[in-house]
Amino acid sequence: MRKTLLPILGILLSCHITFAQNSAETYYEEGLTKQTKGDVAGAMLAYTSAIQANPDHAPSYYQRGLLKVSLKDYRGAMRDYDEAIGITSKDAKAFLYRGMCRVIQDDLGGALRDFNSAIELNPNEAKALLQRGQIWFKMEDQRRAMQDFDKGLVLEPNNAQAWYSRGQCKIGVKDYKGSITDFTKAIELGYNAAYAGRGNARTNMNDLNGAITDLSKAIQLNANDSESFYYRGLARSKMGKFAEALTDFNESVRINPQNYMAYYGRGVCKVKLGQPKEAVADYNLAIEINGASANTLPYYNTLITENTIKLLDVIVTKYTQPKDLSPGRPEVYLSRGIAKNTIGEGKSAVADLDKAIEIEPTNADSYFIRAVVKSSLGDQKGALVDCSSAIKLAPRHAEAFFLRGVIKFSLLDKNEACYDFSKSGEYGFVEAYNVISQLCSK
Question: Of residues 282 and 154, which shows the higher confidence score?
Answer: 154
Q: What confidence tier does 206 reach under pLDDT thresholds 50, 70, 90? A: confident
Amino acid 322: pLDDT: 43
Q: Rounded CA gap, 105 and 100, in Å?
A: 9
Looking at the domain covering 2-88, what would its CATH class be?
Answer: mainly alpha
Classify residue 188 by its DSSP letter. Answer: H
Please state which of the four CATH numbers 3.40.50.2300, 3.40.50.720, 1.10.390.10, 1.25.40.10 is assigned to the domain occupying 297-439.
1.25.40.10
CB 125 within 8 A of CB 119: yes
Rounded-to-integer distance, Cα 320 and Cα 81, Å: 40
Q: Is the pLDDT of residue 256 over 90?
A: yes
pLDDT of residue 295: 32
In angstroms, rounded to a whole number, what is the distance separating the alpha carbons of residues 267 and 248? 13
Give the mean pLDDT of 317-345.
62
pLDDT beyond 50 at 308: yes
Lowest mean pLDDT segment, chosen from 18-22, 66-70, 378-382: 18-22
Instruction: For residue 367, give every residue at least 6 positions away whose Cβ sits within 8 Å of its Cβ, in sequence order, or none.
Output: 357, 386, 387, 389, 390, 393, 400
Q: Indicate if 126-291 has the same CATH topology as 2-88.
A: yes
Q: What is the pLDDT of residues 72-112, one digit of tens each?
A: 998 998 999 999 899 988 889 999 999 999 998 889 999 99
Give 75's contacts (C-beta < 8 A, 6+ positions apart).
Answer: 101, 105, 415, 418, 419, 422, 440
- Predicted confidence at residue 182, as pLDDT, reads 97
Task: Assess whether pLDDT exceeds 60 at residue 314.
Answer: yes
301 or 228, greater pLDDT:
228
Range 281-298 average pLDDT = 57
- Residue 159: band (very low, low, confident or very high) from pLDDT cuts 50, 70, 90: very high
- Dist CA 341 CA 319 (whole Å): 13
Mean pLDDT value across residues 109-124: 94
The b/e string for 332-345 (b: 16+ C-beta within 10 A; e otherwise) is ebbbbbbebbeeee
Report the pLDDT value the prediction gives residue 290, as an integer from 0 to 100: 52
Which sequence spans correspond to the domains of the chain?
Answer: 2-88, 126-291, 297-439
Long-range contacts of the stretch 314-317 (C-beta < 8 A, 24+): 314/399, 315/369, 315/372, 316/342
| Per-residue pLDDT at 288 | 78
Quote the DSSP letter at residue 413: -
Residue 12 has pLDDT above 60, yes or no: no
Compute the average pLDDT of residues 25-31: 90
Q: Across residues 404-430, what is the average pLDDT?
A: 88
Q: Which band of pLDDT confidence, cut at 50, 70 and 90, is reported for residue 323? A: very low
Give the whole-number percent of the chain exceeding pLDDT 70. Answer: 85
Q: Best-predicted range by mean pLDDT among 280-289, 335-344, 355-364?
A: 355-364
DSSP 330: S
Question: May I ask the CATH architecture of the domain 126-291?
Answer: Alpha Horseshoe (1.25)
pLDDT at residue 307 in the model = 66
Encode burial over 353-376: b for 16+ CB neighbours within 10 A, e otherwise.
Answer: bebbbebeeebbbbbbbbbbbbbb
